């Protein structure tokens, strides 16, 4: 076992490669850390992976980022850009070591332009903070990942994040107008524009969306925002059969409805919240939550009634509707408490972020949920199916005993089998959490035809391979062995 302290010793790569004084000259002594504990903290995120950084650096502005990247490029030192480290697939884990660039100090909202309906923010601004700033103007930034209280805008763009409202408002890529990016050679470039439409050549800003820090370092973003709806109505329906809920989802989307939220919870999820939170949800195979929002009540009524009728047609029962904010919170409480409920499902079981956010066509939703259960049973793990079905996103988590080596074999098999199925029905590996390390094997199979072009783009923009190396198409084929696992495996 290699102690992190060794990374700092004279024999380690760290001392050979990084001139700490040079870094201090750029960002100041108070913004550099190289204590072993710090290196460990900044080498972890919300995934199963861990790999210590060599040094942690907090830049304050684009000029400092440029200077660090120029220095790193000259010495071929890896640079791993980090927001809050809330990614679930190991995107921010410095698998090849190097400089971890913590962007949280660059957290200024630079401009809110109401006539032109855009805002400019630095990459380290937290999603909820931006929404707090927009609210007084009656506006909101709609991406809303579950981690919005901690996720930074830069991280959201780099992972093309989305959340419960993606069914109506889309993912980050639908909100980005432009950005400033520090390229691998240290150049600062302006990408995109301030307008809603642009047909001026290659859309390089779009290329940066979902690039996971491998093509450039986003230092500033121009985002469009939306007016806050005046009315919101939420509904809940219970289904005895998972297939009935699946059919209802497909028909709601097919019927031309515009839900602002459409969420599914399966029986494992229902059991989890009932068991650990005493929620008293009905013991059915599936619960569907649906919501409509808008400026005119009649329009919201129209949408919600239509969705209710579809649920009734597919034998949805116990349907409740409410415009009241408190009631809406009550109706959504089960879904909201699912995450902690899964963590506490059973002693010794860990809730791991694996195969966590595939997307499949609407018509395959119910079948995917069934498949998840079958694969879990076959591979001796517990998996649940829930998610933003309105945008085709199905979440799961693998509950397993992380200390047992054989359970990691089970998890590896379960993940591979599930993605084989997702691929066979035309789905995609990641809907909103990104690829990083743990989803890379499946991603490489799904995108086999375009991998050579991805490699070519990476080579052209980052010839020395310094920007978040070893991720996406360059990640190892075996995610279990890609890094040390965050759990103690016996």
Contact in structure between 81 and 428 (CB atoms under 8 Å)? no
Instruction: Tell me if residue 320 falls in helix, strand or coil.
Output: strand
- Torsions phi, psi for 215 (to 5 deg): -115, -20
Instruction: Tell me if residue 374 falls in helix, strand or coil.
Output: helix
What six digits make up the tokens of 127?
A: 């999603």
DSSP state of 318: E
Strands (DSSP E) contained in 336-401 are 350-352, 357-359, 382-383, 386-388, 393-395, 398-400
Q: Which of residues 84-123 bind another protein (CB under 8 A)?
A: 84-86, 102, 104-105, 108, 110
Question: Which is closer to another protein, CB of 8 or CB of 371?
Answer: 8
CB of 138 to another protein, least distance (A): 24
- Torsions phi, psi for 110 (to 5 deg): -85, -30
What six digits make up the tokens of 417?
A: 């089998």
CB of 314 to another protein, least distance (A): 32
Spell out, one character per residue from 333 to 372, where the chain touches another protein: x when CB under 8 A holds, - when not. Answer: ------xx--xx--xx-xx-x-------------------
- Count the neighbouring beta carbons within 10 Å of the beta carbon of residue 186: 17
Question: Which is closer to another protein, CB of 126 or CB of 415?
Answer: 126
- Residue in the block written with tokens 């642009």: 198
Chain-centre distance for alpha carbon 479: 18
* Region binding another protein by CB under 8 A among candidate stretches 40-48, 183-191, 246-254, 306-314: 40-48
**64: contact with another protein by CB under 8 A:** no
Question: Which is closer to another protein, CB of 2 or CB of 448?
Answer: 2
**174: contact with another protein by CB under 8 A:** no
Among 128, 240, 374, 417, binds another protein (CB under 8 A): 128
- For residues 330 and 222, give the distance between their C-alpha atoms in angstroms, rounded to a whole number: 35
Q: Which of residues 132-161 bind another protein (CB under 8 A)?
A: 147, 149-150
Number of amino acids touching another protein (CB under 8 A): 48
Instruction: Tell me if residue 96 falls in helix, strand or coil.
Output: coil
Among 16, 25, 35, 320, binds another protein (CB under 8 A): 35
Among 15, 20, 24, 41, binds another protein (CB under 8 A): 41
**Cα angle value 210/52/88 (rounded, 5°):** 35
Strands (DSSP E) contained in 246-329 are 261-266, 286-294, 317-322
* Region binding another protein by CB under 8 A among candidate stretches 181-189, 190-198, 220-228, 479-487: 479-487
Question: Which is closer to another protein, CB of 343 or CB of 464?
Answer: 343
- Looking only at the bridges linking them, the beta strands covering 139-140 and 176-182 are unpaired
- For residues 34 and 28, give the distance between their C-alpha atoms in angstroms, rounded to a whole number: 14
- For residues 24 and 437, give the distance between their C-alpha atoms in angstroms, rounded to a whole number: 31
**5: contact with another protein by CB under 8 A:** yes
* Region binding another protein by CB under 8 A among candidate stretches 81-89, 266-274, 319-327, 458-466: 81-89
Question: Which is closer to another protein, CB of 64 or CB of 391?
Answer: 64
Spell out, one character per residue from 202 to 221, where the chain touches another protein: x when CB under 8 A holds, - when not. Answer: --------------------
Spell out, one character per residue from 290 to 329, where the chain touches another protein: x when CB under 8 A holds, - when not. Answer: ----------------------------------------
Strands (DSSP E) contained in 210-316 are 217-224, 226-227, 231-239, 261-266, 286-294
What six digits make up the tokens of 286?
A: 């599936």
- Torsions phi, psi for 349 (to 5 deg): -90, 135
Among 15, 20, 24, 40, binds another protein (CB under 8 A): 40
DSSP state of 155: H
The binding site for another protein (CB under 8 A) comprises: 1-5, 33, 35-38, 40-42, 44-47, 58, 60-61, 84-86, 102, 104-105, 108, 110, 126, 128, 147, 149-150, 339-340, 343-344, 347-348, 350-351, 353, 402-403, 484, 486-488
């Amino acid at each position: 076992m290699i102690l992190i302290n060794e990374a700092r010793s004279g024999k380690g790569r760290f001392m050979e490669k990084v001139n700490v004084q040079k870094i201090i000259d750029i960002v100041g002594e108070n913004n550099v850390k190289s204590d072993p504990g710090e290196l460990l903290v900044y080498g972890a995120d919300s995934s199963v992976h861990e790999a210590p950084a060599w040094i942690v650096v907090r830049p304050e502005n684009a000029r400092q980022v440029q200077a660090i990247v120029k220095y790193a490029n000259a010495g071929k030192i890896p640079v791993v850009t980090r927001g809050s480290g809330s990614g679930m697939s190991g995107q921010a884990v410095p698998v090849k070591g190097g400089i971890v660039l913590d962007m949280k100090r660059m957290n200024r909202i630079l401009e809110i332009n109401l006539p032109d309906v855009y805002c400019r923010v630095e990459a380290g601004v937290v999603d909820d903070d931006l929404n707090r700033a927009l609210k007084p103007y009656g506006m909101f930034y709609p991406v809303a990942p579950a981690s919005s209280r901690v996720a930074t805008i830069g991280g959201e763009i780099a992972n093309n994040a989305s959340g419960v409202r993606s069914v109506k408002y889309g993912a980050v890529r639908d909100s980005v107008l432009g950005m400033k990016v520090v390229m691998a050679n240290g150049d600062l470039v302006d990408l995109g524009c301030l307008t809603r439409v642009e047909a001026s050549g290659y859309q390089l800003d779009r290329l940066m969306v979902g690039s996971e820090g491998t093509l450039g370092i986003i230092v500033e973003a121009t985002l469009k925002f939306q007016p806050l709806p005046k009315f919101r109505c939420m509904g809940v329906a219970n289904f005895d059969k998972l297939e009935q809920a699946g059919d209802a989802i497909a028909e709601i989307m097919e019927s031309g409805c515009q839900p602002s939220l459409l969420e599914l919870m399966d029986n494992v999820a229902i059991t989890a919240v009932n068991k650990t939170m005493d929620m008293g949800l009905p013991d059915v195979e599936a619960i569907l939550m649906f919501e409509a929002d808008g400026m005119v009540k009649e329009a919201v009524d129209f949408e919600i009634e239509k969705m209710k009728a579809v649920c009734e047609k597919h034998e949805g029962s116990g349907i409740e509707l409410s415009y009241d904010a408190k009631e809406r919170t009550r109706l959504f409480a089960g879904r909201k408490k699912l995450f902690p409920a899964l963590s506490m499902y059973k002693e010794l079981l860990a809730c791991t972020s694996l195969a966590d956010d595939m997307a499949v066509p609407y018509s395959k939703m119910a079948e995917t949920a069934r498949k998840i259960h079958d694969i879990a049973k076959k591979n001796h793990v517990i998996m649940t199916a829930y998610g933003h079905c309105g945008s085709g996103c199905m979440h799961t988590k693998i509950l397993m005993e992380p200390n047992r080596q054989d359970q990691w074999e089970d998890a590896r098999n379960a993940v591979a089998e599930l993605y084989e199925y997702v691929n066979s029905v035309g789905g995609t590996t990641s809907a909103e959490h990104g690829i990083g390390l743990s989803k890379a094997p499946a991603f490489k199979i799904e995108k086999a035809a375009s991998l050579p072009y991805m490699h070519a783009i990476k080579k052209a923009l980052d010839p020395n391979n310094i920007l978040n190396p070893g991720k996406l198409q360059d990640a190892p084929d075996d995610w279990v062995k890609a890094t040390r696992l965050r759990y103690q495996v016996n």
